[in-house]
């Protein structure tokens, strides 16, 4: 396995980015300013992706973390997260992210040390042109999570 930072032609990973964020316009808002990392499996196939931006001198934010469905539950996203924690811990003390109210997703992050900090009411209704459903439930509020990495 290897993890590579993508610095050019980030848009070629749009298909997997759309797994983590269903609206292409939203992706375009953060993609160019993001540090983009791709995890490749043993067969050199991209499996997971993570887009990270700097918020301030102590905080980075994960804007998108996604894994192709056929590679889920194999530890790839966890490995990529561990890489991100390790890469940024020297210069930043916390990492934040926002996600929808999906118990599987929330459980994934909480198992890795993230805690809920706040919610943005009606975020998905106000910022996305079409309703987004995960596990049969419409996403409404954005839930923010934080993890200390120092």
Instruction: Specify the DSSP element, H or E, that contains 30.
Output: helix 24-31
Tell me the per-residue pLDDT of 100-113, one tens digit each, with 9 for 90 and over: 999 999 999 999 99
Residue 98 has pLDDT above 90, yes or no: yes
Question: 134 or 11: which carries more pLDDT confidence?
Answer: 11
Q: What is the pLDDT of residue 63?
A: 97
- Residue 135: pLDDT band (50, 70, 90) is confident
CATH number of 2-148: 3.40.630.30
Q: Are 53 and 81 in contact (CB under 8 A)?
A: no
The pTM is what? Answer: 0.94
For position 9, what pLDDT does the model report?
A: 95
Average pLDDT on 63-86 reads 96
Q: In which band, very low, low, confident or very high, does the pLDDT at 99 lie, cut at 50, 70 and 90?
A: very high
Distance (Å, rounded) from C-alpha 149 to C-alpha 140? 29
Q: Residue 124's pLDDT band (boundaries 50, 70, 90)?
A: very high
Q: Average pLDDT for residues 9-37, to the nearest whole number?
A: 95
Residue 150 confidence (pLDDT) above 80: no
135 burial level (CB within 10 Å; 0-12, 13-18, 19+):
exposed
């Amino acid at each position: 396995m290897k993890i590579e930072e993508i610095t050019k032609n980030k848009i070629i990973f749009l298909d997997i980015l759309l797994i983590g964020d269903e609206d292409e316009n939203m992706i375009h808002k953060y993609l160019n300013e993001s540090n983009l990392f791709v995890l490749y499996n043993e067969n050199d196939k991209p499996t997971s992706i993570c887009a990270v931006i700097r918020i301030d001198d102590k905080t980075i934010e994960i804007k998108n973390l996604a894994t192709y469905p056929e590679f889920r539950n194999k530890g790839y996203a966890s490995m990529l997260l561990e890489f991100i924690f390790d890469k940024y811990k020297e210069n930043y003390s916390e990492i934040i992210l926002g996600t929808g109210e999906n118990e599987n997703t929330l459980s994934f992050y909480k198992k890795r040390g993230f805690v809920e900090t706040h919610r943005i009411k009606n975020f998905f209704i106000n910022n996305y042109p079409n309703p987004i459903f995960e596990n049969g439930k419409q996403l409404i509020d954005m839930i923010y999570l934080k993890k200390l990495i120092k």
